[in-house]
A and B are shown apart, each in its own frame.
Chain A
């Protein structure tokens, strides 16, 4: 019963490198989300996908792209990494976006940009 799985768990990049963070859920959820967590700021939504084939910007989308590959998988791509993107990234999923069901979170990807 894995829930939400994120890979990798840790990554160090140099400025300008690109990278894709992977996320997969096995709960048959329709909605998936990417957040970043920075000290003292809680979690901020980067992008979300209300259903397979749709994606929308969240609060802090600049510098990121996403792909909802299928119902299970939702990837986040940094095309040209910047030090300001050093953060912990969390993927989450929920049954439906417009519901009171909670979001389920992965364990995060800790990303450092040098």
Chain B
């Protein structure tokens, strides 16, 4: 069965410092993986997706993620955090039944 685990429920960084949000997945075959962002009182917005092409995926707003099959990880990074990055981030895997399986979310706080 497919599953996804977000290793941190909260991450706090200072503005201008790097961001790392961690995600591990479990899948019996090559998965499709996504990162979504949710700002307060808003829906989910796609940041980036991995679909078995390049292992380093670039997304919107300077975010990127690297698919590492050996580590079953798909961590989200950004070199320099901005105040507007404060939000909740969801790692998502597409299951074999085509259902999206969501992680429990990581809340990112950015301090000035």
Mark A residues whose CB is within 8 Å of B: 4, 40-45, 58-59, 90, 92, 97-98, 100, 102-108
Whether the pair B90, A43 counts as a contact (CB closer than 8 A) is: yes
Which residue of chain A has its CB nearest to the CB of B51?
A100
Residue B43 at the A interface, CB < 8 A?
Answer: yes
Choose from B44, B51, B99 the contact partner of A105 (Cβ within 8 Å): B44
Min Cβ gap B10→A in Å is 12
Whether the pair A105, B43 counts as a contact (CB closer than 8 A) is: yes
Whether the pair B98, A102 counts as a contact (CB closer than 8 A) is: no
Min Cβ gap A45→B in Å is 6
Bound Cα distance from A94 to B34, whole angstroms: 14
Q: Please count the residue pairs between chain A and chain B whose beta carbons lie under 8 angstroms apart in the complex.
A: 46
Chain B neighbourhood of A59, CB < 8 A: 99
Whether the pair A90, B44 counts as a contact (CB closer than 8 A) is: yes
Chain A neighbourhood of B98, CB < 8 A: 97-98
Whether the pair B104, A41 counts as a contact (CB closer than 8 A) is: yes
Residues of B6-57 whose CB lies within 8 A of A: 9, 32, 34, 36, 41-46, 49, 51
Whether the pair A42, B103 counts as a contact (CB closer than 8 A) is: yes
Whether the pair A102, B41 counts as a contact (CB closer than 8 A) is: no
Whether the pair A100, B49 counts as a contact (CB closer than 8 A) is: yes
Min Cβ gap B74→A in Å is 15
Whether the pair B43, A107 counts as a contact (CB closer than 8 A) is: yes
Chain B neighbourhood of A44, CB < 8 A: 102
Min Cβ gap B52→A in Å is 9
Whether the pair B99, A45 counts as a contact (CB closer than 8 A) is: yes
Whether the pair A102, B104 counts as a contact (CB closer than 8 A) is: no
Chain A neighbourhood of B43, CB < 8 A: 4, 90, 92, 105-108
Min Cβ gap B106→A in Å is 11
6 pairs from A and B in contact (CB 8 Å cutoff) = A40-B9, A42-B103, A45-B99, A100-B94, A103-B100, A107-B43
Chain B neighbourhood of A107, CB < 8 A: 41-43
Choose from B34, B90, B102, B105 the contact partner of A102 (Cβ within 8 Å): B34
Whether the pair B104, A40 counts as a contact (CB closer than 8 A) is: yes
Min Cβ gap B22→A in Å is 15
- Sample of 8 further A-B pairs with CB below 8 A, known A42-B102, A100-B49, A105-B45: A40-B105, A41-B104, A90-B43, A90-B44, A92-B43, A92-B44, A100-B94, A107-B42
